[in-house]
Structure 1
Amino acid sequence: MRILANRKIKHLFWWIALFIAGFSSISIVSVSLQWKYSVWCVLVSAILMGVFIVAALYLYFRKQDQIIEDAVTQIREYLSGNQDARIDCDEEGELYRLFHEVNSLAAILNAHAENEGRAKYFLKDTISNISHQLKTPLAALNIYNGLLQEESKDFPEIREFTDLSEQELDRMETLVQNLLKMAKLDSGTIVLEKTMENLSEMMDCVQRNFTYQAQQEEKKLIFCGGDMVTLLCDRIWLMEAVSNLVKNAFAHTKAGDTISIQWKQFASIVQLVVQDNGSGIHPEDLPHVFKRFYRSRFSKDTQGVGLGLPLTKAIVEAHSGTIEIDSDLGRGTTFTINFLIPTKL
C-alpha cells in the first residue's frame, strides 16, 4: 500500500495497533481470570487506550500541519520572486510525492521563464541591430531626397514625388524607432527612472511639439488641467505615450476639429484624458486598437503602422496605470489614462 510508504504513517499505525493489542490483551486476561474488578480494569484500559490513540493522532497531525505550513511558506517564497525556493521532499509517501511534483513544476516554470527571457533579449538585440543597420541607409536616403527636392523646385511633378518620398521615409523612421522601443519594453531591459513630475509642465512640452502641426492643419489644440498635479513617472516615456495619443488624434481629425488634453487629480488617482471630435473608431475595431500592426478594414488611414497605440499601452502599464478607450463613429474618440496614487498604509 502506498499510504504505508511514509515512515511516519507506518509508525502511527504500529502504535495504534500496539495500543489496541494491549487493551485487548488486558481485557481478555482480566475477564478470563474473573477478577473482582475486571470490569473496572477493562474500562480503565479502554480509557487509557483512547487517550494514547488521541495523543498519537494529535502529535502526528501537528507534525503534518507543520510540514504543510513549511511547504506553503516555500510556495509563497517562490511566488514572491525567489526562484530557488523548494519544498523539502526527502522522505517517501504520497504527500512528499506531491511536493516533488510541485518542485518539478517550479523547475519547469524557471526553465520556461529563462527561455522566454533569452528569447526577449534575442528579439531586442535583433531588432536593435536591424534598426541601427537601417539608420545609415535611411539617413542617406533623406539626404538624397533633400537634394532632389532642391533640384526639382522648377518641376512640380518631380517635386510632388520627392515630397511623397519624404513622407514615406519619415514613416519608415517612425516604424524603426517604435519597433526598437517596443522591443526594449518587451524584454524588460528598460528601467523606468521615475521621479515626481509636474504634469502641467510636461503637457506644456507636448503642446509646444504639436502647436505648429495644429496651425498647419487648421485644428484646435486645447490643453487644460491643474497646475499643481504631480505624478511619479518617467518623464520621457510618459510624454512619449501622450504624444502617441495626440498623433493618433491628428490622424483621425480634419480641419476645424478639436483635440483636447485634460488632466485631473482625484483622491486616489491621477487621470489624463485625450479627446477629439474626429471620425471616431468603428465598433468592430474597438477591441483590437491596442494590438500590434492591427489595420482596420474601415480605416482610410494609409500612413499608420499600428504601433503607436500598443506602445502607449505598454508604457502606461509599465507605470502600473490603465488605459481605456471610448469612441462614437463620426463623433470622436476619448482615451482615458488612470494612474493610482501610491499611499502609505
Structure 2
Amino acid sequence: MKEYSYQQNKKYYARRVRMLYACSLLVVVGAAVIMYLYVGKWLPVVIVIGCGAGMIGIMRLLQHTDDVCISQIVAALSDLLDSLSELERQEVFPENEDTLLSKLQSKTDKIVTTLRLQNERERAEHENIKGLVSDLSHQLKTPISNLKMYTEFLKNPHVTIEERQQYLHILDLSVERLIFLSESMIKVSRLESGLITLHCEKQSINETILQAVKDIYTDAKKADIMITYKEEISCDILHDRRWTAEACFNLLDNAVKYGKPGNEIILAVRELGLTIEISVTDQNEPISGEERTRIFERFYRGQNTCEKDGIGIGLYLAREIIEKQGGCLSVHPVGQGNCFSIVLPKQ
C-alpha cells in the first residue's frame, strides 16, 4: 500500500493550481492577440482581456470558497474525532443524508456506543473483582483468626482435657467453614468468569427437582421440617440438571436452615404460559421489603441470620445459575412466610 504524504499532496495541488492559472492567462493573451490580428482594433482586445481577467477572478473566488468549505469540513472532522476520543455522541454531520460524511457520522456513533459498552463492562468487572476480594478477605478473617488463636491456646501445657476438646471442636468448625467458603468461592468465581459452561439439555425438570429434594432430605429430617412436593405438571425443558438442582437445593437449604421444628416447606412445579415455575414456600419469618432487594447479593446476610451458620452465598449462586439459563429468581411474602420462585422458559 502506497504511503500517504500530506506535504507531497499539498505541493502537487499547489502546482496544479498554478498551472491552471498560467494556462488561463495564456488562453486570454492568445485570444487577445488573435482578436487584434483579426480585427485590428484595441477595443475588442480590451474586452477580451477584461473578460479573461473576470474569469480568472471568478476562478480565484471559487478556489477561496472551496478552501473555506474544506477547512470547515476538516474542523468538523476534528470535532468528530474529539467526540470519539471522549466517547460522547455529537452530531457533526446530518445522518439523514446519503453522503460519505453522513456515513462517517453514523459509523463514528456506532464506535462510540461500542466503546461505551466495553468500558461499562470493564468497569463492572473491575468493581466485581474489587468486591470479590473485599468480601473474601472479610469472610476469611474470622476462621483464620480462630485457627491462630485456638492453636495458641492448645500450646498451653496447663489446658484441661475438657478445654482441649472444646478448642479442637472450634478448630474443626473453622476448618469446615474455610472448606465451605473456598468451595463456594470457586463455584462463584468459575461461574462469573465463564469457566463453567452450562450444558442445557431437554430433560425432565421434575427429576432435577427431586434430586435437590434427595440432597436436602437428611437435613430437613434432622430439623423436624416436612417438605411437601406438589407436581402440577410433568415436562421436559432445556436446562442444566446439575446446576439447576444446585439452585433448587440452595433455596430448600435456606428454608430448612432458618426454619423451626414442625414447619412445612411446600415445593411446587407448575406451568405459567410459556414458562415453568418452581416455587419454594416456607413458614419462616417474612423477609422485609428492604431486604428482599438485597438477599440475592453476594455475601449478604439478613438481620435475623446471625445465629445461623452461613456466608450468604447460596441465594446469590442460585440467581446466577437461573439467570444464565434465561430464567429469573424472585421472592415475595406469602401469608406468614416467603415464596421463592424460579421461572424457566419451556423452550
- The interval holding the TM-score normalised by the smaller chain is 0.5 to 0.7
Instruction: Give the TM-score normalised by the residue count of structure 2.
Output: 0.56
Deviation at 1:301, TM superposition (A): 3.7
In 1: Cα distance, 2:331 partner to 2:121 partner:
35
The equivalent residue for 1:214 is: 220
Please say if residues 233 and 269 of structure 2, whose CA atoms lie closer than 8 Å, have aligned partners that are also in contact. Answer: no
- Secondary structure of the residue aligned to 2:290 is coil
In 1: Cα distance, 2:231 partner to 2:264 partner:
17
Q: Deviations over 1:35-57 (max 9, x none)?
A: xxxxxxxxxxxxxxxxxxxxxxx
The equivalent residue for 2:119 is: 112
Q: Deviations over 1:270-300 (max 9, x none)?
A: 1100111022323331111111122333433
Instruction: Give the TM-score normalised by the residue count of structure 1.
Output: 0.57
Deviation at 1:262, TM superposition (A): 1.2
The one-letter amino acid of 1:260's match is I
1:307-318 matches, within 5 Å, as 307-318=313-324
- Residue identity over aligned pairs, in percent, reads 21
In 1: Cα distance, 2:230 partner to 2:167 partner:
40
Deviation at 1:207, TM superposition (A): 1.9
* 2:274 aligned to which of 241, 247, 268: 268
Deviation at 1:220, TM superposition (A): 1.2
> 1:332 and 2:337 equivalent?
yes
Where in structure 1 are there 5+ consecutive unaligned residues? Answer: 1-86, 149-153
Deviation at 1:102, TM superposition (A): 1.6
In 1: Cα distance, 2:274 partner to 2:291 partner:
31
> 1:98 and 2:108 equivalent?
no
The one-letter amino acid of 1:293's match is F
Deviation at 1:167, TM superposition (A): 3.2
In 1: Cα distance, 2:161 partner to 2:223 partner:
25
Please say if residues 332 and 339 of structure 2, whose CA atoms lie closer than 8 Å, have aligned partners that are also in contact. Answer: yes
Q: Deviations over 1:206-259 (max 9, x none)?
A: 222122212211111222315732221000110110111111111211111112
Please say if residues 233 and 319 of structure 1, whose CA atoms lie closer than 8 Å, have aligned partners that are also in contact. Answer: yes
Where in structure 2 are there 5+ consecutive unaligned residues? Answer: 1-94, 155-159
Please say if residues 281 and 328 of structure 1, whose CA atoms lie closer than 8 Å, have aligned partners that are also in contact. Answer: no
> Alpha carbon RMSD of aligned pairs, Å?
3.8
- Secondary structure of the residue aligned to 1:284 is helix
* 1:280 aligned to which of 268, 272, 286: 286
In 2: Cα distance, 1:256 partner to 1:156 partner:
34
The one-letter amino acid of 1:251's match is K
In 2: Cα distance, 1:218 partner to 1:180 partner:
32
Structure 2 CA distance for partners of 1:109 and 1:239, relative to 1, 3 Å? same
In 2: Cα distance, 1:263 partner to 1:298 partner:
29
Q: Choose 1 or 2 for highest CA Rg.
A: 2
Deviation at 1:328, TM superposition (A): 6.0
Please say if residues 233 and 271 of structure 2, whose CA atoms lie closer than 8 Å, have aligned partners that are also in contact. Answer: no
The equivalent residue for 2:346 is: 341
1:63-212 matches, within 5 Å, as 93=101, 95-106=102-113, 108-109=115-116, 112=119, 115=122, 158-212=164-218
In 2: Cα distance, 1:290 partner to 1:305 partner:
12
Aligned length: 234
Structure 2 CA distance for partners of 1:184 and 1:285, relative to 1, 3 Å? same
Please say if residues 277 and 333 of structure 1, whose CA atoms lie closer than 8 Å, have aligned partners that are also in contact. Answer: yes
In 1: Cα distance, 2:302 partner to 2:124 partner:
32
- Secondary structure of the residue aligned to 1:333 is strand
The one-letter amino acid of 1:177's match is E
Deviation at 1:314, TM superposition (A): 0.7
